[in-house]
């Protein structure tokens, strides 16, 4: 679980679920606080998070990748079009399809 909303503020916190223990534990925060973003698991086990809205109400094109081996977020190539409320899916060939949402400039 990464990012989200606390009252009226986008947050950068991230937590990992241990399904066997049924517990959550904090991990490194996102590089950018964001809400209404999309996330997808990449074929190598990392997680890509992209887009959303920031605390200024701007739609984001930025993206970041969570590396569970290092418990760290790293910048990723930005989306060509800023968007929020979209969906993302990792395709069998490893590419990521991003569809829908609200578009920014």
Residue range of the domain that includes 91: 2-103
The predicted structure's pLDDT at residue 105: 59
Count: domains in the chain: 1
Pairing of strands 87-90, 63-67: unpaired
The sheet carrying 9-18 orders its strands as 2-6, 9-18, 23-27
Q: Determine the straight-line distance between the first and last CA of the chain, rounded to whole angstroms.
A: 27
The predicted structure's pLDDT at residue 103: 86
pLDDT in tens, the chain (105 residues): 999 999 889 999 999 999 999 999 999 999 999 999 999 999 999 999 999 999 999 999 999 999 999 999 999 999 999 999 999 999 999 999 999 999 865
């Amino acid at each position: 679980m990464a990012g989200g909303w606390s009252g009226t503020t986008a947050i950068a916190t991230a937590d990992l679920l241990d399904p066997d223990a049924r517990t959550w534990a904090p991990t490194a925060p996102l590089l950018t606080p964001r809400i209404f973003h999309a996330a997808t698991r990449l074929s190598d086990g990392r997680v890509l998070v992209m887009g959303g809205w920031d605390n200024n109400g701007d739609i984001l094109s930025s993206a970041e990748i969570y590396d569970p081996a290092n418990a760290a977020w790293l910048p990723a190539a930005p989306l060509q079009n800023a968007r929020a409320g979209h969906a993302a899916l990792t395709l069998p060939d490893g590419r990521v399809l991003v569809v829908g949402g609200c578009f920014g400039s």
